[in-house]
Structure formats: C-alpha cells, structure tokens
Amino acid sequence: MRFADPYVFALLALIPVLFFVERRFGREGRPGAYSSLGLLAGFGRTWRLRFRWLPSAARALALALLVVALARPQTGQAESELPGQGIDIALVLDASSSMSVTALGRDTRLAVAQRVLSDFIAGRKDDRIGLVVFRSTSIVLSPLTLDYEALKMLVGSVSQLNLQDGTAIGVGLADALDLLRDSRARSRVAVLLTDGENNAGAIEPLQAARVAETLGIRVYTIGVIDPGAGGASNVDERALRAMAEITGGRYFPAQSEEALAAIYASIDRLEKSRVGRPQFGAYDELAVYFLAAALLLLAGELGLRSTVWRQAT
C-alpha cells in the first residue's frame, strides 16, 4: 500500500486539539451546580457511566479515518511492468571463417563469442532477444523471444551454418533492424560483434546505421581485435565507432574473453539504466473504504448520543 498525499497525515495532530477545545469551552466542559452529592454515595457506577467515553472514541477514530481517506491510500503491483517497458535486443554475430580459425586466448574467436553470448542470454529475465548471424549474407536464426534455452542452443549451432564466406556487416545490421522495427519496447538495441571489415553485401554499414538512427534504435558495436597484431587492426574501428555514435550507442574493442564478457555486462547496465525502475501498471484507490468506515462511525456516535448517552438540554 502507498499514499498518494502522505502530507495530509499532519492533520492527525489536530484531532486531540479539537477534543481539548470542545471539552474546555463546550457544554460538556461546564459542570452543573449541585447542593449535595451525599444521596448518590451509596450507588455504584453504572455501565453507561463506565463506557461514556465510547461516543468520543468513535468520533476520534472517524476523524482519523477521514484523514487516511484524504491521504489517498492505493495499492498496486510494483513488480509488473507497463506494456512496452522491457528491453528488446538483437544480437548480431559475425560467423565468417576468420572467427572460426583465429584464436582468442585458448579457443577460437567464434567459440569465445558463443560462450559469452550464452552467458549473456542466461542472465536475462524479461528481455526479448533475437539472433542474426552473417557471413557474405545474413540469416535470422531467431526472432525476438523469451525462450532463452532455445536461443542458447541456436548460438551453439552457429558454426554449422552453410553460408558463403565473407563479412556483410551492413546486411547483418539491416536484418537486426528489421527484427526491431515493430517493437514497442522502451529500449531497442542491436549489439553487433565482428572481427573484420565489411567486404560483402549491398548495404554499407553506415547506411544501416542511418536507418537505425531514423528508427530510434541504438547500435553497440564490438570489434574483436587480435592482441598480437601490433599497431595494425583487423577490424575497421573507425567505421564501427561511427556506426555506434550515429545511433547513440558505443564502440567497444575486445582483446580477450574476459574483456568481451565485461563489454556485454557494460551494455546490460547501460540499457537497464535507461529503462529505469519498474513502475506500477495500475493503482486501486482505497479511500472510499476508509471514508465509508468513518461515516459509519460518525453515524454510530450520533445514534449513541441521541439514545444511550443522551444529554438533557
């Protein structure tokens, strides 16, 4: 439960003040004059005398309930997200021959990328993920889905694809954008990993990035760099950086499995910070129940003062 206007609770401090003023200056506060009370000494206290505080207590509780009603108590489900509040992610993976034959640590670049992607997918909870793989052309292995187990199996089967060799970065990104274009998620991102330069396909990488910019989709690019290449780079870092910056994303170079895992974790944090905390999808107003209880108590107080605790005028 939450209160939309909690500052109203300050009015509770006025309730004892009202009772003090009424008792001090009201009719009940002025005692009558009696010549002698000796004749009443032999009588015990009646139940009406013992419970004469009940009408006042009913009024005090009614006033307190009215204050609670004014504070607008509400209930909602904090764990539920509003429609379109999740993250939709298109993973774009380079599966060219250089990824399969060149080592990154103890394994090939592709094997390392498959492990990191599988761990990244396993860490999801409510995000939809799609998978696009490219060589000289690209193929959508999975549309946006919450079936993470099936997605991890597809990531593990990337090396079995029968596609002509090449590196069609622009085409791969374009297919990822096609996956995301109809998404209504609050955050839509494409994460593209490659170890080479664009050398195939009819779509240039920067052209695809411009389309992403138009669609409002952020692109994160990752270049898997050979740590033993010296000053030469096996990827077109300038193009990858431009693709990311155009769309509001970032470029990350990776020279080890640990660095690659840290990059995906960093992207995860960046996107979660954009989405923010879960929000209440709906509120149920409870003020009417407190108001009804207060009115019943006030009616009960009036009834008691008019009957059992009726005072002479």
Q: Give the pLDDT score at 79.
A: 47
Q: Give the pLDDT score at 220.
A: 97
Task: Give the H or E element holding residue 288.
Answer: helix 287-306
Q: Give the pLDDT score at 15.
A: 82
Q: How far apart are CA 308 and CA 187, in angstroms?
A: 66
Domain-by-domain residue ranges, the chain? 2-28+47-76+283-306, 87-275
Q: DSSP H helical segments within 86-236, as ranges? A: 97-101, 109-122, 148-156, 169-180, 205-215
pTM: 0.62
Contact 37, 279 (CB under 8 A): no
Q: How far apart are CA 15 and CA 303, in angstroms?
A: 21
Residue numbers in the chain where pLDDT is lower than 50: 29, 79-84, 277-278, 312-313
Using DSSP bridges, classify how beta strands 284-285 and 73-75 pair: parallel, antiparallel or unpaired. antiparallel
- In this structure, whether the domain defined by 87-275 belongs to CATH 3.60.21.10 is answered with no
User: Tokens in use for 240?
Assistant: 């990858």
Q: Give the pLDDT score at 80.
A: 47
Distances (CA, A) of 16 to 13, 42, 63, 309: 7, 35, 10, 21
Nearest by Cα to 192 from 228, 216, 217, 215:
217
- Neighbouring CB atoms inside 10 A of 60's CB total 17
Q: How far apart are CA 178 and CA 140, in angstroms?
A: 10
User: Tokens in use for 172?
Assistant: 């791969």
Q: Which residue has the tokens 């052209």?
A: 207
